[in-house]
Chains A and B, each alone.
Chain A
Amino acid sequence: MRQVTAKPKALTNAPFHYCPGCTHGIIHRLLAETLDEFGLTENAIGIASVGCSVFAYDYFNCDMQQAAHGRAPAVATGIKRVRPQNFVFTYQGDGDLGSIGIGETIHAANRGENITIIFVNNAVYGMTGGQMAPTTLLGQKSSTTPTGRSIGEHGYPLPVSELLQALPGAAYVARTTVTSPSQIRITKRALAQAFQAQIQGRGLGLVEILSTCPVNWHMDPVEALTFINEEMVAQFPLGVFKDFDEEVARDGK
């Protein structure tokens, strides 16, 4: 018998607490595989944020810090500035990054901090029970938008990747999802390029990953995947918004 796959070394043996059908688990695995493949598991310092991934420090087999709500990019900045020799990443949700921590996110990107942000966008506050997130879709129901998000009352879904694209300090920005094997492979490649941005000292790398929340969306797992492919992608188009390599090819700098 031949072993064809194994748990990444960058994951501990702690069982995930994520709900059935949630794609945090897939994203954790992709990040862990990437850490291993870059040989960074023993060097990395990760930052867990506040939200469903708050226990990420139990799952990643590297040094970890747990940050206050929204402050992960500031914590990452503090670490990276004093230890530039370490690989530093944050793992944040949409409430953490896009709402309470949008200031830290924009300024970390604008300073061109050499850090890598894994941004999991599931359009809802999962941990606190399904409240409206900055990325909640128009018309989408949540516990604080019981009749659906409306432009007049709540404004528009926040396009984080499009915002960061505008900042010169952001070296790599991509939006992906993990709803199919091919999308999972695309996400893995995006993570690798975001890692490269930090390794090469190009500036901030961010991968926004559209992710499911079947429990708070009140869907079964398959419906949740379909919701991403049909509804979320329409609001949040997938793609690479910025790539330092392409800029090098285009501008020769």
Chain B
Amino acid sequence: MENSVLIAGFGGQGVLFTGRVLAEAGLLLGHEVTWYPSYGPEQRGGTCNCSVVIGDEPIGSPVIDAPDYLLVLNQPSWARFAPTAKANGRIIYNENIVKPDAGPIAAGKVPIKATRLAGKAGDERVANMVLLGALLRSLESITMAAAKEALRDLISPKYADLLEIDLDCLDLGYAKAAV
């Protein structure tokens, strides 16, 4: 088993943190994991992505050319990454923000009203957790329990009041995602 997950959006949407939760959950489950953030000029320009690879064997490339799973949090990331997703892969995207282009996309599309669901749960800012929950529906190597434990471990004291909302959002995303 080796799963590659690419998460892409704007800085401030929790792209890197979402990846951290995923990677940490992988570690808790005893998997090999790599987490690699974009840190170059794009970081300064506001867009942001991170690559997480989860496997049973030591990971070779932490750089992903064709993700098994793609989480899209903003429109520019659709244009840039959606065409690269594997044909048998999945693109999970926030349909409150992202309008899929008409171009040929081979991967399965999983639209999630992540902003709206997060707002219902208590804070629109944590739409990233809704998308992560949706990912867990199809990413079999990571359990919801591990993701929640990782989230509890990683959340900074500054956002401690968001923890319950984050946890709810994971469940909401999971429930809404098509398998």
A and B touch in the complex (CB under 8 A): no
